[in-house]
């Protein structure tokens, strides 16, 4: 009887240098899947390969051998010594494997709890295995259920609702201040990575227009083409303050770029409309006294980190609800899996008895002289009814015992009684 298993390494067990080596492109993954499946050791297989984890999900008679083969092929692609992985690779089977799969798809095992990318990556791995012909009924059922669990975790809990990055936290604060970001104008001072990321998030939320001021004019032009935005000479950014609703500043300058008097001047033109500063610069780009002005909201990097830490704590609380939900879904899938254990035996038994029925019907019809259609139909109906009545008892018994955890033993017994050795042993 084959065993459901998952073997892999992730951000907790392996350094990033090793994970990078084993993160393969799609064409390489296709080769590994095909080669592993062709060995016959893996009845079903799927490989999840991301920057934070490389995991093989499979169905195998001997999971340890299947793991050795799969990771041997992965290592072969990158010239990694397979034995170097031994202390880093974990293997989980049956209920533990199901539990792990559901937690991974639901982002409960991610480096950033609740991040949304992992579900898309699991779906890509699922599709690739399907295209490669290595996805069977057990893994298909497991992954389909995992997608449903992940959806419930996101809808029934708030594990993914609170921002846990500085840039996203800034966006959430801006939303609270303005009640929505559609059509709000933004000035980005400095073109560093963190500022650019915050600006991209704002653009995704519908802000417009976006102005970019940077000491290096070519970099401002480059960023404006990418976002898109309007370049502003760095010396003129103070003049733009009166026209925008949100200012993101991240310059790395030694002295504040935005002074209190600059903002006071801008406020006259704004007629009490709020002005929000996201100061990601260290040292700070916005003079501290700016935050004392009416209708001005200024959050520096420490303020944003406090928001992020509070949100992380909130996600951890929500994760407890999600974990309980996953546990319940594991129990449900185990019941379905137990039922699957006896399906091949039931199918094999029905095929064998049906073959006998058809043979005997053919003999009976041959002994009759030109039987009428009515006679043929009557014989067919009579023989089918007998077969169904004979199979009803064993079929019900197999399904009942599968739910009580004794399905495998009864599948072997039925296989012996009816001579189903080939299909019965598979059950």
Catalytic residue IDs:
51
How far CA 191 is from CA of 119, 187, 254, in Å, comes to 31, 11, 16
In angstroms, the CA 333 to CA 339 distance is 10
Which bin fits 40, alpha (ψ -120 to 50), beta or left (φ > 0)? left
Angle at 123 between CA 118 and CA 126, to 5 degrees: 130
Sorted by sequence, the CB contacts under 8 Å of residue 67 that are 6+ apart come out as 5, 7, 56, 89, 91
Give the other-Cβ count within 10 Å of 262's Cβ: 19
Phi, psi of 228 (to 5 degrees): -95, 170
């Amino acid at each position: 009887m084959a065993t459901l298993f998952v073997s892999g390494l992730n951000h907790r067990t392996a350094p990033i240098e090793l994970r990078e080596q084993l993160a393969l492109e799609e064409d390489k993954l296709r080769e590994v899947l095909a080669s592993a499946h062709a060995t016959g050791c893996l009845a079903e297989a799927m490989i999840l390969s991301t920057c934070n984890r490389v995991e093989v999900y499979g169905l195998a008679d001997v999971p340890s051998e299947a793991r050795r083969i799969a990771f041997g092929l992965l290592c072969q692609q990158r010239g990694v010594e397979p034995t170097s992985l031994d202390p880093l690779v974990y293997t989980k089977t049956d209920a533990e494997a199901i539990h792990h799969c559901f937690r991974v798809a639901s982002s409960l095992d991610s480096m950033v709890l609740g991040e949304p990318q992992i579900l898309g990556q699991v779906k890509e791995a699922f599709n690739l295995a399907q295209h490669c012909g290595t996805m069977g009924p057990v893994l298909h059922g497991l992954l389909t259920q995992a997608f449903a669990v992940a959806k419930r975790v996101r809808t029934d809990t708030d594990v993914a609702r609170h921002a846990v990055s500085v840039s996203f936290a800034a966006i959430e604060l801006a939303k609270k201040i303005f009640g929505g970001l559609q059509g709000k104008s933004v000035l980005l001072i400095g073109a560093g990575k963190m500022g650019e990321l915050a600006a991209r998030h704002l653009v995704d939320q519908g802000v417009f227009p976006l102005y970019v001021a940077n000491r290096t004019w070519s970099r401002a032009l480059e960023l404006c083409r990418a976002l898109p935005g309007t370049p502003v000479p760095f010396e003129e950014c103070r003049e733009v303050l009166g026209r925008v609703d949100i200012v993101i500043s991240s310059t790395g300058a030694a002295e504040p770029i935005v002074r209190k008097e600059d903002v006071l001047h801008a406020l006259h033109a704004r007629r009490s409309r709020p002005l929000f500063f996201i100061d990601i610069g260290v040292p700070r780009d916005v003079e501290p006294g700016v935050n004392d002005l009416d209708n001005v909201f200024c959050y520096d990097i420490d303020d944003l980190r406090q928001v992020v830490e509070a949100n992380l704590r909130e996600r951890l609380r929500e994760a407890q609800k999600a974990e309980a939900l996953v546990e319940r879904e594991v129990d449900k899938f185990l019941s379905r899996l137990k039922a699957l254990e006896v399906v091949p035996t039931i199918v094999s038994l029905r095929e064998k008895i049906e073959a006998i029925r058809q043979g005997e019907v053919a003999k009976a019809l041959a002994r009759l002289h030109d039987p009428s259609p009515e006679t043929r139909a009557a014989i067919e109906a009579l023989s089918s009814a007998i077969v169904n009545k004979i199979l009803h008892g064993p079929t019900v018994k197999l399904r009942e015992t599968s739910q009580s955890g004794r399905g495998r033993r009864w599948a072997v017994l039925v296989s012996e009684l009816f001579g189903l050795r080939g299909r019965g042993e598979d059950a």
